[in-house]
Amino acid sequence: MELVYLGALQLLLYDLFSYFYLMITLNEFTTQLELEFDDMVVGTLLPTTDYRTIKGWSSMHALIVIAFLDANFDILLTGADLKQAQTIGDLYNLVLQKK
């Protein structure tokens, strides 16, 4: 029970840290990213979504991701960075790392 409590506290602190560092939570990040795609049904993207498995995912979507991160966080991801990241959560962590 103690370990679970500490784990939850750790996640909460991490989320708070990333929020204050980036002023955006992982959930907000995911929602904002989803809004960049006109063709995407709301709720398609989750923090755990492997974006390359999304139906119709293409290099055009990758360009939109890169532009989104550049415009909103001043972070420039390469094609290699995108290949390394699998989920939206991984992208978020990448932003944290680069910041």
Partner 1 sequence: MPKHIEYSSDYDLFNEQDLSLFIKTTGIKERRVASKEVTCVDLCFTAADAIIQKFGKEDIDAIIFVSQSPDYFLPASSVILQNKLQLNKSCLAFDVNLGCSGYVYGLSIVASLLQTGHLKKALLLVGDKSTISTNYQDKSAYPLFGDAGTATLLEYDLNAEPWYFNLQSDGSGKNAIIIEHGHSRHPINQSSDVLHQIEPGVKRTKKDLALNGLDIFNFALKEVAQNINNLIESNNVSKEQIDFYLLHQANKLINESVRKKLKITEYKVPYSIDVFGNTSSASIPLTMCYKLKDELLNGEKLLLLSGFGVGYSWGSVLLKTKHIFTNLVEHD
Residues that bind partner 1 (CB under 8 A): 38-39, 56, 58-64, 66-67, 70-71, 76-79, 82
C-alpha closest to that of 95 among 34, 37, 33: 33
Nearest residue (CB) to partner 1, 16 versus 63: 63
Residue 24, CA atoms < 13 Å, CB-side half-sphere: 17
Minimum gap (Å) between residue 59 Cβ and partner 1 = 5
Number of neighbouring beta carbons within 10 Å of residue 42: 8
Of 25 and 34, nearer to partner 1 (C-beta) is: 34
State which residue, 3 or 58, has the beta carbon closest to partner 1.
Answer: 58
Cβ–Cβ < 8 Å for 37, 61: yes
What is the token pair recorded at 8?
A: 């939850």
The distance of closest approach from Cβ of residue 92 to partner 1 in the complex, given in angstroms and rounded to an integer, is 19
